[in-house]
Structure 1
Amino acid sequence: MSARPTSTAPLGLPENLFWDVNPSNLELDKHAPLIIARVVELGRLQDWHTIRLHYGSERMRQTVTQLRDLSPQGVSLCCAAFDLTPADFRCCTARPFPPAPWIY
């Protein structure tokens, strides 16, 4: 198994997870929701273990349940990992827009 190339992304995560931001500008605490969301959505199992060791299960649980946008696969992964139900996730229960006014 070859060693991973050095990365400027936090925790040595792959830079391709953060294609739209400068990975060297990410701060672990300030940008935790972004980092956790990207690893849940696009990361590998090794990346999952890395952030789980750093942030801990409780912080990850709190963060993923408050994300506004999470794929069904990401929700299923987090449900299995943290013993949650889809109803616990903001992305599954919140309505994206208020109801439209009635026009008659």
Structure 2
Amino acid sequence: MYFDDYKDFPDAALNPKLLWEYRLSEFNFQEMRDVVVQRVIERGWPSDWYFILNRYGIDGVKEAIKNIAYLNDKDLNFVSQQFDIPLASMKCYEKKQLADQHWNS
């Protein structure tokens, strides 16, 4: 995995701009795990990745990834490969397969 050294960065902080619409002083990081992980996947820097891996652990991040309702194709394939998660076990992949496809020409 690309972020195998995450334990070397225990003080990594999450960029508050990723959660701009929330009041972080009242934010429950445990209840909102899926939202935090999705924001880091979509817009995060390495320090943000280190934060979620230290906060939730690899298994917690994997579980959140499986629950995310939407990821673009690039992000979907990146996390699938990095965390060894089969595409078919991800909610966002299932939703893409069920959606009506436009002509690909």
> Which residue in the other structure is 1:25 paired with?
26
**Higher RCO, Cα 8 Å, sep 6+:** 2
- Which sections of structure 1, spanning at least 5 residues, go unmatched? 1-10, 98-104
> Which residue in the other structure is 1:53 paired with?
54
Aligned mates of 1:30, 1:87 — CA distance in 2:
25
RMSD across aligned positions (CA): 1.9
Aligned mates of 2:17, 2:69 — CA distance in 1:
22
Provide TM-score, normalisation by structure 1: 0.72
Q: Which has the higher helix share?
A: 2
- 61-70 vs 17-26, which moves further: 17-26
Aligned residues, how many?
87
Percent identity at matched positions?
21
> Which residue in the other structure is 2:83 paired with?
82
> Which residue in the other structure is 1:101 paired with?
none
Provide TM-score, normalisation by structure 2: 0.71
